[in-house]
Amino acid sequence: MHGTLIVLFALVVWSWTSGDIELSDLLDARRLENLKSFLRDDAQPFALRGHPFTFSGLAAWAGGLLASRGLTGSIQTLAISVLAISLAAMGGLCLAPFAARNLAASRPFSFAAGAGRIRVQRLRETAWRASTLLARAFLVFLRAIPEYIWAFLLLAMLGPSAWPAVLALAVHNAGILGKLGAETIENLDAAPLRSLWWLGVRRSQIAAFAVAPLALTRFLLYFFYRFETCVREATVLGLLGVVSLGYWIQDARARQFYDEMLFFVLLGAGIVLVGDVLSTLARSFLRRAM
């Protein structure tokens, strides 16, 4: 433990001393003046500049932005995230059984056989191990590429629409949910599932009618956690041109309307907060049900 802390401290010191990042550069007079100018002028709503501040004026300005672009962008952001996490869950549920080493085995949930195994049995075990390894490698590939890169590639192939963002989020999160689902299956109590196998129940029946109900509550916890991430990332992916809140953030930045940009950023934070609250309530309910 002490050695780990020493190594971590050494890495922090190295990162500060070896690069071109200097704290004094962040706090120099020019940057502080730019910050003051942004807060004093650019961040102030354009409709209120030169007029006394009133909450009614602020509400009218915010309401106009919400009606013209904010509401549509918010709905699009939520639609992208809900569709993406639904596709990711279906993909993860399909891939998880093939990546679970106790289910995708020659004899599911059984102990390893002794040294006297016949050659056919060894070949079957080798084939199952290879298929499981391929499934796990495929899940690693899906989640190793960030959503932003997936969206960039899909945008080039599919053109500008909401689908590149949906599929990018779905592919990346399918890899994550598949990995977590496989680990959930591997952590199940093997004794009753092994008994079903020795009683002659088929592998597909065990997976559908025994493994799935036992693993479902844990999988749903992961589902709602990744849904929070999808809400956040759907906003960010709008910077690629997908019409979500990120699109209007990028549009306002390009036109140097920083007051509008700040409004859409705060609106995106509000959507993430609402999604986080709903997800937390759902996960709390599931924990109590478990």
Amino acid identity for residue 200 in this structure = G
Q: Where are the domains of the chain?
A: 64-289
The first and second tokens of residue 216, run together, are 């479902």
CATH architecture of 64-289: Orthogonal Bundle (1.10)
Residue that is written with structure tokens 């391929």 in the block: 134
pLDDT digits (tens, 9 = 90+) for 23-69: 666 666 676 767 676 666 666 676 666 666 677 777 777 788 888 88
Average pLDDT over residues 211-222: 85
Q: Contact 169/88 with Cβ under 8 angstroms?
A: yes
pLDDT at 13 over 80: no
Question: What is the structure's pLDDT at 247?
Answer: 80
Please give the Cα distance from 224 to 28 (Å, whole number): 43
Cβ(143)–Cβ(179) below 8 Å:
yes
HSE, side-chain direction, 13 A CA sphere, residue 63: 6
d(CA 167, CA 187): 30
What is the pLDDT averaged over residues 79-107?
Answer: 88
**92 pLDDT exceeds 80?**
yes
Higher-confidence residue: 91 or 197?
91
Contact, 106 vs 125, CB < 8 A?
yes
**Distance (Å, rounded) from C-alpha 71 to C-alpha 81?**
15
Q: Quick: pLDDT tens for 157-182.
A: 888 788 888 999 999 999 999 999 99
**Residue 284: pLDDT above 60?**
yes
The answer to whether the pTM exceeds 0.85 is no
